[in-house]
Amino acid sequence: MEGNYYMIHDYLIFIGVFAIFFFLTTSIYLFSEHQKLKKKNAKLSESNKIIEQRLNEVRLEHIGTKLNPHLFKNILNSVQSHAYQTYMSLDKLANVLDYILYESNNKYVSPKEELNFALNLIEINKIKINPLFDFRIKSRINKSDSLYEEKVFAPLISVDLIENAFKHTDFLAEDSFISIYLELENGIFTMKVSNKASLKNVLEKEKSGFGSQSLDQRLKMIYSTYYHLERSTKNGIFTAELKINLGEFYDKMRYSG
């Protein structure tokens, strides 16, 4: 009996040791497989990020190829329709075309470059309106802002808001006007454009036109959560206001490498 007792005792010990060994071996194997799976998921996630980034770049390139000829056509129409003022606008036109041909191919330009382009574009568009027309432009640009000459601004962002104001203004209305406000302060760019709009279908044009769609797409893809664009109409006055937090976006660019 005593011999049987020891045999059973040894057998139970063997079973216990085997169970512990099996548990440890299984745990190590499962942990190893879990680590491999984590590494695979990390690689897949990184691959997805690279694919998404490249897809965004292709989309932006596609938008750019459509935007530039569209802008060329509008500028040339403005100059052609007022030949008697062409000589005065040639210098502005040259600056604008240089910017479109050379700078707009860059991923980013400085606020200084984009603002100079916007002001030249405004001057070119002004030649098609009556000198007595109520046109208001105001700028509050802090040239000592740390981002004023940094490559942090997506080129041609200002085009859509300027062109839509001139395109959709009711120039025959007695109280018609265009108002453009530009600001760069504390790393925040602000552009506010208001105009007396034709009430027929301005909102439909604003939402369906290629320019507005491309602006929305580019802002979303480039500036993500660092911008706010609001469009509204009240009492026949259309207003679009764009704010871009260039400071926070620049910090993100530096830290992400």
pLDDT per residue over 1-42, tens digit each? 545 554 555 555 656 555 565 556 666 666 676 677 677 666
More confident position, 225 or 33:
225
pTM listed for this prediction: 0.67
Locus of tokens 């909102």: 203
- What's residue 129's pLDDT? 82
Q: Exposed e or buried b for every residue in 243-253, given b needs 16+ CB within 10 A?
A: bbbbbebbeee
The answer, yes or no, to whether residue 172 has pLDDT greater than 90, is no
User: Which two three-digit tokens encode residue 23?
Assistant: 């548990």
The answer, yes or no, to whether residue 127 has pLDDT greater than 50, is yes
- What's residue 59's pLDDT? 58
Q: Is 225 in contact with 252 (CB distance < 8 Å)?
A: no
- What is the DSSP code (8-state) at residue 11? H
User: Which two three-digit tokens encode residue 244?
Assistant: 């871009």
The answer, yes or no, to whether residue 179 has pLDDT greater than 90, is yes
Which has the closest alpha carbon to 104: 76, 80, 70, 78? 70
Q: How many C-beta neighbours within 10 Å does residue 136 have?
A: 10
- What is the DSSP code (8-state) at residue 109? B
- What's residue 208's pLDDT? 45
User: Which of 36-50, 58-72, 158-172, 234-248 is most confident?
Assistant: 234-248
- What's residue 95's pLDDT? 80
Share above pLDDT 90 across residues of the chain, in percent, rounded to a whole number: 33
- What's residue 248's pLDDT? 95
- What's residue 22's pLDDT? 57
Residues 6+ away with beta carbon under 8 Å from 240 = 161, 164, 192, 193, 194, 206, 229, 230, 231
- What's residue 128's pLDDT? 75
- What's residue 93's pLDDT? 74
Across the chain, mean pLDDT equals 77
Q: Locate the domains of the chain by residue range.
A: 56-256
- What's residue 168's pLDDT? 86
pLDDT per residue over 89-126, tens digit each? 667 777 877 888 788 788 899 999 999 999 988 988 88
Residues 6+ away with beta carbon under 8 Å from 97 = 72, 75
User: Which of 55-69, 103-117, 197-211 is most confident?
Assistant: 103-117
The answer, yes or no, to whether residue 48 has pLDDT greater than 80, is no
Q: Residue 36, class by beta-carbon neighbours within 10 Å (0-12 exposed, 13-18 middle, 19+ buried)?
A: exposed
Which has the closest alpha carbon to 145: 190, 189, 185, 191? 185
Rounded to whole angstroms, how far apart are CA atoms 235 and 229? 20
- What's residue 175's pLDDT? 87
More confident position, 15 or 153:
153
Rounded to whole angstroms, how far apart are CA atoms 172 and 154? 35
Which has the closest alpha carbon to 124: 165, 182, 82, 152? 82
- What's residue 242's pLDDT? 97
56-256 CATH, one of 1.10.3720.10, 3.30.565.10, 3.40.50.720, 3.40.50.300: 3.30.565.10
